[in-house]
A and B are shown apart, each in its own frame.
Chain A
Amino acid sequence: MTPSTTSRNNSGVSMWLAQSIVRARFVILALFVVLLGAAAFFVQQFRIDASAETLLVKNNALYIKTQQANQRFSPDEFILVAYKPRNGELFSSTTFADLTALSEQYSKLERVQSVTSMLNVPLIADASALTSDVDVSALTWQKQQYSAAQMQQLLSDHPIFTDLLLNSAQTAAAIQIVFKPDAKLTALESDMLAIERHTLQRELSAEEQTALTELQDQADPLRQALVKQRQQEIAQIEKINQQVQQRAQTFTGGGYVVAQHLVDIITSDLTVFGSAIAGIIALLLLLLYRSIRWVVFPVLACAASVWLTLGLFAFLDIRATVISANFIALQLILTLAVMIHLIGAYRDIARNDSTATQQQRVAMTLQQKLAPCFYATVTTSVGFGSLIFSGIQPVVDFGFMMLFAMLITMSVSLLLFPALLSLLKSKPETADYAILSTSLQAIRRLVERAPLRTVFACLLLFALLLPGITRLNVENSFINYFATDTQVYQELKFIDQEFGGSTPLDIVITLDPAKTKADLLLSAEQFNQLHVAHAVVAEFAATGNVTSLVNFTTLATQLNDGKPLTEYELNSIYQLLDQKVVNQLVGAYLTEDPLQVRIATRIQDTTEGLNRELLMQQLNQDLQSVGLKAEDYSLTNLFVLYQDILSRLFDSQIMTLGLVYLGMAVILLLIFRSLKIALIALVPNVCTTLGILGLIGWLGIPLDIMTITIAAIAMGIAIDDTIHFVHSYFKAPADTALKNAFAHTGMAMLFTSVVIAAGFAVFGFSSFLPSVYFGLLTAAAMIMALAADLTILPALLSRFVKPKAA
């Protein structure tokens, strides 16, 4: 079958469809009004979930192990507030008074369990306090009113509190606000974990699946409430901090503070950039078409598709995450891209045949553009759809969301928009800018005259970008998500550098049971297994605060004039301490049955030249070289989970891109029914995607879960232009084919590319760096795709394919 016969077949179907749509315009309008009304009902329930959890791949062994470790050791949830006196005197009565006042106010917050600062921790001056009957908890500043000088002496190089309650430079103190866990939620989570842990060995049964879903449904509202409460707490804490602003700088950080800042930024990005893009689109439309109706109707249609999508997501309880929060902007841009092609065709028809009625014009437009627009949205969906196979949960979710969004975009632009359009009065259309059409024709002439040279010139340019691909690297950290000039970044960086790091990493060691001694909790050899591992962990430049039982024994040794404890003394101290104190102090670092110890550290994300993959590798290697077998210990917690994602990024980049190429080839083959044409249509798009990856490499931008989506998405969008161009190339006889394609589609391609690129470029103003990269790079990809579609594509077409007369 030749291209011309298919297009004739297609045009038969297209004509019938086009006329049906125009005839059913009132039904379509009524239907959409109902749907929009229904969406309005749900839209309020739409949620953003930007917790760190949403960035993780769940249901894998690492995640479940981390959950299990958290359950066994149940570390506290806390926020750190750093207090840095402006006059530099940390040990002064002003500081003590401020810390006291702040602590007192924090402790009044509802969920706060305890507030710890250097003022209420026991500071022990000699070891006898540990072995005799002295009440250790009374040895605090609060009870003893130590002098400033004594405090300084007691706290200098303290093995436990340095980097936690004061920095080693002694310029700032931190207050640790510990929150109560929600007992109900903890119980639900442990029930869920009890089911989920089976996935380590086998698939879950149907009953387990149901039970799990039921538990999740119960836990969800609690989690939602918790997120909201945390948000309020942070606001309250920051308000309390205001009181000391004259005397000191304060910095708030720790665990979910980052996540909360992310939610704030994303929520504001969603609305700010959503409306900014809408505004820019409106402006561009006005500029390009110089007519109010071509601003109002496209914007209305865009708004309708976003509204419907929001409603649908709320109805299905799909939540926007850090990665997918851009979907509103994306959908606006994509819906518009389809409509610009429709508008272009409509204006063309209106100018050529000014006598036709509005309905006829719309029908003719649809007849011409229904097929390419349909295919274009399908290819875009394939681009997003490929993300489903990325293997990275947040990216997979994003892929699904955009698939739904594209379905809505397709129905809005191909059903609602023409229905609306057919209600308008037919008016004469303004001419397109002459300068644009003449320059397009100039390009055409160049391509026609020297097709091969054009191809080679363009390919050479892309070839320059390609080596950048070898420079691609993967790095990812929460802190680096924020632009360096933001307050959030500054606060997080201070905590990161001065108070022991950000991203938690745990090393859980199962101690050799053969070395157990009767009557002893830990034998010296078991303890020293831990000690050596602790030393290994602490030696890395990027590990901030490192905490384990070793900190306690180091303190004891220090107090004991440098004499170590014997294993029996260690056990005696453990037995003699109050059970409550034990749980508080060492519960998070030691569990019995099986005897496991935990080393907790936080990785300093702002460490210069930090290579996380190398860090993990060396850490494993070092732990094994000091005598731990791989099965004796496990690395858990957020750092490992993020690292796991990073290690998949390359694979999933290759996977998604490969799938996109394959999917596109199949679709192009279906559309054009010719392998040659399909391959030719692929060339400019493959060039664009590889080019953009090369550009990312050259710019030294790390691949992260956001940037890996760029290539696939760019391809999905860019190929639309290719399809439109090839489609109109075959509409005209051979001698005028190129001229026709440039004249009819060139302008629409130019418009869509400019509008899309401008829309994405707006993200450059975000303070969330992944969004910035995503926006600017996708914009760059659009421009590259346009260039390729206007040079390589026509050159290859005119050299290798001659359309038969239509």
Chain B
Amino acid sequence: MKTATVIAALFLFTLSGCASKPAPPDITTAETEQQTTEAAAESEAAAEPITATEQLSSGKTTTIKTSQGNIEIQPTVVDMASRDDPATPEDEAAEQYNDPLEGWNRAMFGFNHAAYSYALIPLAKGYEYVLPDVVRSKIGNAFSNIREPLSLLNNLAAGEVKDAGTNLGRFLINSTVGILGLFDPATAWFDMPSAKQSLADTLAGYNVSPGPYLVLPILGQNNVRGSTSVVSGVLLDPLRQITSPPDTYYLQGVDAVDTFSDRARVYEELYQQADDPYLYFRNQFLQGVKRDDAFNNQPE
């Protein structure tokens, strides 16, 4: 337990660095110097207005004028690049994908790939082979149910009292009526869809910026904010409260394999189709985070 606290404290410390900047989420330390040049270049940017296509790509709703009147278009596919900056393409990439730890990350990515290919994927495949679809889905349900209290805490921390109530209700119903969470009567009968909330969501809600990209061993890619969430998730795992090692590790292992088995094929296929899989996974992840930050806080 002690080590856990230390690690958690370490992450919180790193995070506080991220949180200290009230700047918009997509502008990070590396870019602060550029802010001075930004104003100067703004007139240049004004000369060539941002097109509807570019606005949509940046995740903004745009309005176009046509012979049939003005049409408002909501983005459906985005790259979340910030097009306000008059930056050269190289700078743009650096700004869009905040990855100062690329050396470490690439090494870790390579290590993970080997681990996945030779250990986790065969394991997951075996797991899939042994257990039928239905059983796997039930096991998945059970693990989600165990994590329900964690969501409850995060929802409370984020001030989402109603969602926290949902978490509580779901946990009570599914643990009892749903036989230790193997079934999900809360959704099916009580119309209470899950209200998952991770620490990362909560932190994002407090405008904590995601921080640089970070690949963790085995746990995979993330940013500092998300890694905090993942690691704390492991450490604060309710499984640890209801079991004791080594059972905890076994169960956590099964949980990991169960979660991973869904993604094994996905990972393999995407890895194979990419020229530079590291960049592919990194960019997909970072764009996703930016997109989530931009859209989760939007009023519906």
Contacts and interface: CB of A to CB of B under 8 A. Distances in A.
Interface of A: 131-133, 518-519, 522-525, 527-529, 531-532, 535-536, 539-541, 550, 553-554, 556-557, 562-570, 572, 575-576, 618, 621-622, 625-627
A550 B270 CA distance: 23
Given A524-B78, A564-B75, A575 B52 contact: no
A557 B287 contact: no
B283 interface: yes
Interface in B264-280: 265-266, 269-270, 273-276, 279-280
Interface stretch (B54-62, B110-118, B244-252): B54-62
A621 B67 contact: yes
B74 interface: yes
A618 B67 contact: yes
A528 B53 contact: yes
Contacts of A565: 76-78
A618 B66 CA distance: 8
Give the 5 A-B residue pairs with the shortest CB-CB distance, closest first. A568-B284, A524-B79, A566-B287, A553-B76, A618-B67
A545 B151 CA distance: 43
B29 interface: no
B292 interface: yes
B65 interface: yes
A563 B295 contact: yes
A554 B266 contact: no
B56 A532 contact: yes
A557 B74 contact: yes
Interface string B36-72: 0000000000000001111011010000111111010
Interface in B228-284: 262-263, 265-266, 269-270, 273-276, 279-280, 283-284
B284 A566 contact: yes
Contacts of A529: 53
Contacts of B65: 625
A553 B74 CA distance: 11
B122 interface: no
B106 interface: no
Contacts of B78: 524, 564-567
Contacts of B265: 133, 576
24 contacts: A519-B276, A525-B57, A528-B57, A531-B53, A531-B76, A532-B52, A532-B56, A536-B66, A539-B66, A539-B69, A541-B68, A553-B77, A557-B76, A563-B292, A565-B76, A565-B77, A566-B284, A567-B79, A568-B287, A569-B287, A576-B265, A622-B68, A625-B64, A625-B66
A133 B284 contact: no
Contacts, number: 138
Nearest to A539: B68
Contacts of B51: 626-627
B52 A626 contact: yes
A525 B75 CA distance: 11
A556 B75 CA distance: 11
Contact of B274 (A519, A553, A556): A519
B64 A536 contact: yes
B291 A572 contact: no
A531 B288 contact: no
Nearest to B75: A564
A532 B274 CA distance: 28
A512 to B, nearest CB: 10
Given A563-B295, A565-B78, 10 more contacts: A132-B266, A518-B279, A519-B276, A536-B66, A564-B59, A567-B287, A568-B284, A625-B65, A626-B51, A627-B53
Q: Which of B75, B265, B276, B292 has the most CB of A within 10 A?
A: B75
Contacts of A535: 64, 71, 73
Q: Which of A553, A567, A625 has the most CB of B within 10 A?
A: A567
Contact of A569 (B74, B273, B279, B284): B284
Interface string B77-93: 11111000000000000
